[in-house]
């Protein structure tokens, strides 16, 4: 499915914008060897031959609108200058998240984690081997990004759980994707801080179980759900997931913070 979708995209973009897409690399779960049907998207880095014009953007929007809704074909577009600087400032570039093509807004995908994934695991679909790209990852930027993301995004989101769940019965069924997201996402950042490498969400379940055994059962259930097994999660599970976010983030700041 990953190869089929990337080839479909390339056929469409080559027809609509000949010569525009020079290189395309698959990153994300597919590059990490952990792509799962029904749970994973296809994440890419797309390098172009020129900055996009208004007409280019309109055609790209139509191309992405015509792609399948599942799995999503996501990615960031880099014009030639940016493909040599590897920006991490979340500047405005064309990007696709959850299948939605977006322009004129800051791109939160431009992070040191993206470039580390590309550098270590990127799969060339069109273009030279990743080693020839000269991808640069600043270790200090990577450290600061992961620490700040743990506090500013993950802990900030988990802080809303107590009020949101105050009137919800502990055994009420919750969205499995949400519970899994909060269990596995922060743990991946902790692993990068500890090891300077990227792991998949599936591997993050085992890492969380080792790091905080009290969350082992919940973490393994989340991994099984992502693999397609019938797992159900409750409000009590979501509360525990929020607690795990704080445990992981606090431990990361204690061990790897300033």
pLDDT in tens, the chain (258 residues): 788 999 999 999 999 999 999 999 999 888 988 877 776 789 999 999 999 999 999 999 999 999 998 899 999 999 998 888 899 998 999 999 999 999 999 999 999 999 999 999 999 999 999 999 999 999 999 999 999 999 999 999 999 999 999 999 999 999 999 999 999 999 999 999 999 999 999 999 999 999 999 999 999 999 999 988 999 999 999 999 999 999 999 999 999 998
Distance CA 89, CA 92 (A): 9
Joined tokens for residue 203: 């591997």
End-to-end CA distance of the chain: 43
DSSP for 157-184, written as a single string: HHTTHHHHTTTS-TTSEE-HHHHHHHHH
pTM exceeds cut of 0.85: yes
> What is the sign, positive or negative, of the torsion defined by CA atoms of 191, 195, 199, 204?
negative
């Amino acid at each position: 499915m990953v190869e089929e979708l990337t080839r479909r995209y390339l056929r469409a973009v080559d027809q609509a914008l000949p010569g525009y897409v020079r290189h395309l690399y698959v990153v994300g779960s597919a590059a990490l060897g952990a792509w799962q049907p029904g749970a994973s998207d296809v994440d890419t880095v797309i390098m172009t031959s020129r900055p996009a014009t208004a007409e280019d953007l309109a055609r790209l929007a139509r191309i992405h609108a015509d792609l399948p809704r599942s799995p999503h074909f996501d990615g960031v577009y880099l014009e030639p200058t940016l493909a040599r600087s590897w920006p991490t400032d979340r500047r405005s570039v064309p990007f696709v998240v959850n299948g939605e093509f977006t322009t004129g807004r800051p791109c939160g995908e431009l992070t040191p984690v993206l470039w580390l994934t590309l550098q270590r695991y990127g799969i060339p679909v069109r273009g030279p081997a990743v080693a020839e790209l000269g991808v640069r990852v600043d270790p200090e930027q990577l450290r600061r990004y992961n620490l700040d993301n743990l506090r500013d995004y993950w802990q900030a989101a988990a802080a809303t759980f107590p009020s949101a769940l105050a009137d919800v019965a502990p055994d009420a069924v919750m969205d499995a994707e949400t519970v899994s997201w909060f269990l596995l996402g922060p743990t991946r950042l902790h692993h990068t801080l500890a090891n300077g490498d990227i792991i998949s969400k599936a591997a993050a379940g085992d890492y969380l179980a080792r790091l905080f055994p009290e969350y082992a059962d919940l973490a393994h259930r989340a991994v099984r759900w992502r693999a397609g097994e019938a797992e159900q999660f409750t409000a009590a599970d979501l509360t525990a997931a929020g607690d795990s976010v704080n445990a992981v983030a606090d431990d990361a700041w204690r061990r790897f913070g300033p």
